Structure 1
Amino acid sequence: SLFEEIMIGRAHRPGNREWTLVARKPDGVQRWLVGDVFWHLKRRGFKLVGMKMLQVSESILAEHYYRLQRKPFYPALISYISSGPMVAVVQEGPNVVCTSKAMMEHIDLAEASPDIIQGDFSVHISRNVIHACDSMEGAQRKMQLWFQSSELVDWADDGHRWLNG
């Protein structure tokens, strides 16, 4: 299917449209920031093609964060990420991987502007509300971890029709 081809990186959408995984971490869900974060992403014109709320298993987290397993903060990271439900989405849009990452990640929260999701919602570097993939390869790998192709929906984004009757 098209979804399977996209998720394994064999198909590309017209107009440089990419797919990526973005996840609201437990602190974002607990603080009811899921909708606020979606608003930031929708402003950029990204289309939602998959969404689910889940308690993430440690096996998925181990694969998701495999590059960090030898870091001293890894046990605390896994404890934090598994402490509550997360909301994971797959988004589609032009340059969505790079743009999503730029909107979400900022190391020094004191320097993060309100245009950055971290600047609006994060309270500490280790409680930073959201995860975004940093590359197309990472996005493909993580989408496969978190979603089955049957959980993604290809739909026409014609919201203006609902507003203009």
Structure 2
Amino acid sequence: MNKTLAIIKPDGVANGLIGEIIKRIEQEGLKIIGMRMTQLDRRQAEGFYYVHRSRPFFHSLIEYMTSGPVVLMVLKGPNAIDRWRTLMGATDPRKADPGTIRAEMGLNIERNVVHGSDSGDSAMYEINYFFKGSDLVE
């Protein structure tokens, strides 16, 4: 899949990291073909993270993702999912490789600055959850 969803989470927005994250995306050679800032409401967040509904962290995740604005982006490029996931680093910033976004900017496993699709199927679902085809500029 040559597209992936990327989210700059509330902590990334609140800490003024939007520009730095976008800079790294562009330096990686990924193209942003859709982007907008929004504040997720509870319904949107619960729908987006529906696959985690039975996990113990679900409620704190929803509280966190609705706590402030997020930046939603669709990234395009060869192997976009793998490239974005490598750039992000491991979910837990303490385990993320040096130089990755999460290693350098993440606070902890819950407040880890960014989200990225983990597979082609999830990328398709996640992109369509937030963007219509006409929202994307290819």
Partner of 1:27: 11
Instruction: State the percentage of identical aligned residues.
Output: 34
Tell me how far 1:97 sits from its aligned partner.
0.6
Q: 2:12·2:113 contact (CA, 8 Å) conserved in 1?
A: yes
Aligned pairs for 1:65-144 (under 5 A) are 65-144=49-128
Larger mean CA deviation between 124-133 and 99-108 belongs to 99-108
Q: Which runs of 4+ in 1 moved over 6 A?
A: none
- Unpaired segments of 5 or more residues in structure 2? none
Counterparts of 1:153 and 1:57 in 2: how far apart (Å)?
26
State the AA in 1 paired with 2:94: A
Counterparts of 2:91 and 2:124 in 1: how far apart (Å)?
24
Deviations 1:2-46 (A, max 9, x none): xxxxxxxxxxxxxxx711110000000000101111111111101
Tell me how far 1:149 sits from its aligned partner.
1.4
The number of residue pairs the alignment matches comes to: 138
2:110 pairs with 1:145: no
**Counterpart of 2:81 in 1: which secondary structure?**
helix
Task: Give the alignment's Cα RMSD to 1 decimal.
Answer: 1.3
Tell me how far 1:108 sits from its aligned partner.
4.0
**Counterpart of 1:94 in 2: which secondary structure?**
coil
The normalised TM-score by structure 2 is 0.93
The normalised TM-score by structure 1 is 0.79
- Unpaired segments of 5 or more residues in structure 1? 1-16, 155-165
